[in-house]
Amino acid sequence: MTTKKSVLLVGLRPELINFADPAYAAFPGLDAAKVMAALTADELSLNAMGYDAKLCLTDFGETAEAVIRGKLSEKNYDCILIGAGVRTITPNFLLFEKLINIVHEHAPAARICFNTKPSDTAEAVKRWI
């Protein structure tokens, strides 16, 4: 029996995002409910493909580092995806940098990947595992 490859999907808690902020203009028409639905669909889709995928949603930095550190201490992940909402939004750059360093320190064997939108999460994961 083969072990499922584990994937941690890191993103922002959608209810904390101000979609009216011009920084989020690259994601027109989104709101918290749509983002949460997409994130959940990504998790379900990856699990249906045979991965052991888990969502890990954070705030903008108040507890984000501790949340990620905690998740990474629970188990070894084969792949960690950091979502576009963390990575591509300029005001979130320092958070992205901190999260990369936490992943590097606490999961050095994990592959790191990035999506550009919820609909290409599986492709990002498949590129690396």
| pLDDT at residue 21 tops 60 | yes
Label residue 2 by pLDDT band (50, 70, 90).
low
Distance CA 126, CA 95 (A): 25
Mean pLDDT of the chain: 94
* For residues 117-129, average pLDDT: 91
Could you tell me if residue 14 is inside a domain?
A: yes
* Closest by CA position to 67, among listed 124, 11, 7, 4: 11
- At residue 116, the pLDDT reads 87
- At residue 128, the pLDDT reads 95
- Structural domain boundaries, residue 69: 6-128
Domain count, the chain: 1
Could you tell me if residue 117 is inside a domain?
A: yes
Query: Residue 62 is part of a domain; what is its CATH number?
Result: 3.40.50
* For residues 32-49, average pLDDT: 95
DSSP one-letter code for 70: H
Could you tell me if residue 1 is inside a domain?
A: no
- At residue 27, the pLDDT reads 79
Could you tell me if residue 45 is inside a domain?
A: yes
* Residues facing 54 on adjacent strands: 8
User: Using one digit for the tens of pLDDT, what is the confidence trace for 68-120?
Assistant: 999 999 999 999 999 988 999 999 999 999 999 999 999 999 999 999 887 89
